[in-house]
Amino acid sequence: MFELRGKVAVVTGAGSGIGAAIASLFARQHAQVAVLDVDAEAAGRTGQAIRDAGRSAREYSGNVADAAAVGAAFAAVAADHGRIDILVNNAGIAHVGTIEQTSEADLDRLYDVNIKGVYLCSRAAIPGMVRQGGGVILNLASIASIIGLPERFAYGMTKGAVLTMTKSIAVDYVKKNIRCNCVCPARVHTPFVDNYVSRHYAGREEEVLRQLAAYQPIGRMGTAEEVALLALYLCSDEASFITGQAYPIDGGVLMS
């Protein structure tokens, strides 16, 4: 079950964290993985780790917010593999702040990656999926797309847009055999979290990490591998009856 043999999967932001975990798991399930990241070295590390494990991966560098770069990257994937069966729109950036603490530049920066990036990559992948008779798109949203989170004004705005784009693509392409869903994680413990905490809370790292863990009623942050497992299910043929849905993976945050 959940085997992706014969599938070509593009994972954006796959240089680290959740994207790297998804790329690695999909490769273990026999997908041919296209590792896409704005950081060519990070993409290379993920791709090499997959190849070292005896699986198939090729890396591509490109900024998902740049239409020309996205076009070139997806054209290269199609030329190398002949098709794209799965697109995981994982690339994203964060911002902490209320509306008063969010500058116009902050808003534009998050819009470019978190919203425009999903738009550009989906637009690049869908025509080929239509021609080949189907495909799967999975977007990384957030519980911030479902509930309001303190000091996440810009981030929540962009993830709300991701959820809405998910539903729009699902409705528009359901008759073309293209499924589109999103996952909505709570806090996930990734290198990004560790770097943010060490940068902004020097000397208080353990205390802040405990606070971040305690936010989830289950008592800890999620792992990138747990998100990857849900992504695998939603991108597999076993989930062929699921489209247009937002799946929380939140440690109980949304229980009440």
Active site residues: 155
Return d(Cα 107, Cα 171) in angstroms, integer: 28
d(CA 94, CA 35): 21
> Which positions ≥6 away from 19 have C-beta within 8 Å?
11, 12, 13, 37, 46, 88, 90, 91
Nearest Cα neighbor of 11 from 68, 56, 54 is: 56
Question: CA-CA distances (angstroms) from residue 253 to 153, 164, 165, 213?
Answer: 18, 21, 23, 11
Half-sphere exposure of 52 (CA within 13 A, CB side): 6
Pairing of strands 57-61, 222-223: unpaired
Place of tokens 């198939």: 56
Number of helical (H) and strand (E) elements in the chain, helices listed first: 9, 9
Dihedral class, residue 133 (left if φ above 0, else alpha if ψ from -120 to 50, else beta)? left
